[in-house]
Structure 1
Amino acid sequence: MSRIQANLLLLVIALIWGSAFVAQSQGMADVGPMLFTGVRFLIGAAVVAPLAWREWKQLARQGKTPTATDARHIGGLGLLMLVGAALQQVGIISTSVTNAGFLTALYVPLVPVLSWLWLRQLPHWSVWPGALACLVGAFLLSGAHELNIGVGDLWVIASALPWAVHVLFVGRVADKLAAPFLVACGQFLVCGSLALVYSLFMEPVSLKGLIAAAGPIAYTGVLSVGVAFTAQVVAQRYAHAADAAIILSSETLFAAVFGYLMMGDRLNPAGFAGCALILGSMLVIQLLPLFRMGRHKPASVLDHPV
């Protein structure tokens, strides 16, 4: 997969995730946040399971079945996904779709910072102003400049750190194992199983509630988890983690669009300015490194093995 193809795939992922904020908000009317999270991630695991099984058999034929260390890495990704998804889902109960999209995007500036501090991997200089512009754009887009931050917003803010760490490492783990579908399915199983077990003990669970929320659960399980999160694992084998964070942050823009179309959210002039900043930052972070391609190899997660 080429760099451009990976970036386009990441953009499609952002579109799916942006639309999923609406479904996540609607689903909370009938089930608890951990039950919603658990069922949708197990559905996602079922979607990608056939591809994961094929990869497992291929690895077995080559004598490269996952080791205990690989299993721990996949489990770690699942735990990060669980914490991020659970905090985000709890927050969506009491905040708007647009605000949730903005506050989730706080992971964008965290990724290059963590990459620099943790991995000693310094990204292209354009990532820093690009991340800042993206954050400011999301801030304007959300309307959060009115300083109306509630408890739900704080929960979503807390989800930014585990999402940032997940973005930082998911491509590295998938590339080391050379089995992106297996990694995706494994992390979904860990996340979904733990969330479901928690919900059975700590939340009211009823068949009536699950049936009522079946549409949002199915949409987020099949598309947001099964398709988009799996595609993220594939795409990030060929994209720099910081670059991927910038592109994936456009889910903020898509969340605002779908919130406008389906839930009555409205964009003011500041919101439109935020859209322009997000799109501009995406272009800057992708186009500037291309000027050096003739002389230098572009940075990639492939250059930094786990």
Structure 2
Amino acid sequence: MWRSNALLLVVTAIWGMGFVAQRLGMEHVGVFTYNALRFGMGVLALFLFLPLVRRFEPLRAKASPRTLLKASLLAGGLMFIASTLQTEGLAYTTAGKAGFITGLYVVLVPLLGLVWGQRTHAATWVGAVLAVAGLYLLSVNEALQVSRGDWLVLASAFFWAAHIQALGFLTQKADPVYIAIGQFVVVTLLSLPGMLGWERPALAEISSAGGAILYGGLMVVAVSFTLQVIAQRDAHPAHAAVIMVMESVFAVLAGWLVLGESLSLRGFFGCTLMTAGMLLSALAPHLHARMGLSALQVKAGEKQ
């Protein structure tokens, strides 16, 4: 299990540093160019990694091409909106703040589940309150103003949460690996018109953003996805939930090391509250299950 936890920690570190790559890439190219190139590169790399992925994630649900196409369009459409809002927002906010605000999807996923009649535990609500309080300290200044970048990244968190909810449903209808690759193809195709028709980047601009695009495509899309598939096969769900929350912390560390970003004392307390809230929300199902098991054990003991 320690091997799986270590791999998941590497995955979250890659994701966290991905915010820095997005920020650096946006200094040279537009949002559609960055996403079209990084997701396109990620798709090509994933096809190379596919035999390795299949060793740990065998084909699950056989689906018709039409079903797979519908699943890819829905998941890819939500991912396109989320990644566009997030990447655009990073042009106006710090990588560290974006990491924590994006991490709110951990809280939003179970709350959005209420729409589909899913049960939400009390710990999730407590986590939501802590996360919102932390978001206020992190993003709302003394003049009660929120930056444009923070608003955009916050909007992206809702779409990331909707994307995760959609994947939970879609992966019961078609193979998760094919859906993942399909959604990356959709994001690439949806980004291309904006890249070619609106932004029209010069080769020099793409070259300047080359390092950020390579990191976003190879590491964030291809390598992290492959490692995640391998790691989550044997990882304990509760451990995985805690480790995934560390993405925000890695974003702050990477922003500090690479971009020289810093947090005010107010922002630090905000991040602390948000981390506590995200951890509570992520662990709520596991806490509830353990409490239920304890209650059953007590009842069994009473009967004896």
Aligned counterparts of 2:218 and 2:135: Cα–Cα separation in 1: 27
CA contact (8 A) 1:11 1:248 kept: yes
Paired amino acid for 1:256: V
Query: What is the correspondence of 1:57-72 to structure 2 with a 5 Å cutoff?
Result: 64-72=62-70
SS at match of 1:126: helix
1:174 Cα shift?
Answer: 2.9
Deviates more, 1:150-159 or 1:25-34: 150-159
Aligned counterparts of 1:186 and 1:97: Cα–Cα separation in 2: 28
Aligned counterparts of 2:295 and 2:13: Cα–Cα separation in 1: 31
Aligned counterparts of 1:212 and 1:148: Cα–Cα separation in 2: 33
User: In the superposition, relative to structure 1, how do residues 216 and 69 fare at CA in structure 2: closer, same or farther (>3 Å)?
Assistant: same
1:188 Cα shift?
Answer: 0.6
User: In the superposition, relative to structure 1, how do residues 235 and 281 fare at CA in structure 2: closer, same or farther (>3 Å)?
Assistant: farther
Residue 81 (1) aligns with residue 59 (2):
no
RMSD of the TM alignment (CA)?
3.7
Aligned counterparts of 2:40 and 2:187: Cα–Cα separation in 1: 8
Q: Percent identity?
A: 37
Aligned counterparts of 1:183 and 1:113: Cα–Cα separation in 2: 24
1:265 Cα shift?
Answer: 1.6
Aligned to 1:302: none
Aligned to 1:164: 161
- Number of equivalenced pairs: 289
TM-score normalised by L of structure 1: 0.78
Paired amino acid for 1:124: H
Aligned to 1:194: 190
Aligned to 1:226: 222
Aligned counterparts of 2:145 and 2:245: Cα–Cα separation in 1: 22
Aligned to 2:301: none
CA contact (8 A) 2:95 2:252 kept: yes
Aligned to 1:30: 28
Aligned counterparts of 1:281 and 1:148: Cα–Cα separation in 2: 23
Paired amino acid for 1:182: Y
1:76 Cα shift?
Answer: 0.8
1:235 Cα shift?
Answer: 7.5
Aligned counterparts of 1:252 and 1:217: Cα–Cα separation in 2: 21
User: In the superposition, relative to structure 1, how do residues 224 and 154 fare at CA in structure 2: closer, same or farther (>3 Å)?
Assistant: same
Residue 207 (1) aligns with residue 206 (2):
no
Residue 50 (1) aligns with residue 48 (2):
yes
1:296 Cα shift?
Answer: 9.1
Spell out, residue by residue over 1:92-115, the C-alpha distance to the aligned partner (whole angstroms, 9 max, x if none). 112222332233234343211211
Paired amino acid for 2:148: V
Spell out, residue by residue over 1:57-91, the C-alpha distance to the aligned partner (whole angstroms, 9 max, x if none). x75xx993544123201221011111111111112
User: In the superposition, relative to structure 1, how do residues 127 and 50 fare at CA in structure 2: closer, same or farther (>3 Å)?
Assistant: same
CA contact (8 A) 1:22 1:258 kept: yes
Aligned counterparts of 1:125 and 1:238: Cα–Cα separation in 2: 28
Aligned counterparts of 1:256 and 1:68: Cα–Cα separation in 2: 42
Aligned to 2:255: 259
Q: Which runs of 5+ in 2 are unaligned?
A: 297-304
1:266 Cα shift?
Answer: 1.7
- Based on CA coordinates, which of the two structures has the bigger radius of gyration? 2
CA contact (8 A) 1:77 1:166 kept: yes
Query: What is the correspondence of 1:93-108 to structure 2 with a 5 Å cutoff?
Result: 93-108=91-106
Aligned counterparts of 1:7 and 1:226: Cα–Cα separation in 2: 19
1:41 Cα shift?
Answer: 0.6
TM-score normalised by L of structure 2: 0.78
1:245 Cα shift?
Answer: 8.0
Q: Which runs of 5+ in 1 are unaligned?
A: 298-306
CA contact (8 A) 1:74 1:186 kept: yes
User: In the superposition, relative to structure 1, how do residues 234 and 72 fare at CA in structure 2: closer, same or farther (>3 Å)?
Assistant: farther
SS at match of 2:171: helix
Aligned to 2:299: none
Residue 131 (1) aligns with residue 128 (2):
yes
1:33 Cα shift?
Answer: 0.9
Aligned counterparts of 2:288 and 2:3: Cα–Cα separation in 1: 16
Aligned counterparts of 2:95 and 2:145: Cα–Cα separation in 1: 14
Paired amino acid for 1:187: Q
Aligned to 2:291: 292
User: In the superposition, relative to structure 1, how do residues 144 and 21 fare at CA in structure 2: closer, same or farther (>3 Å)?
Assistant: farther
1:159 Cα shift?
Answer: 1.6
CA contact (8 A) 1:170 1:236 kept: no
Paired amino acid for 2:287: L
CA contact (8 A) 1:137 1:277 kept: yes
User: In the superposition, relative to structure 1, how do residues 63 and 92 fare at CA in structure 2: closer, same or farther (>3 Å)?
Assistant: closer
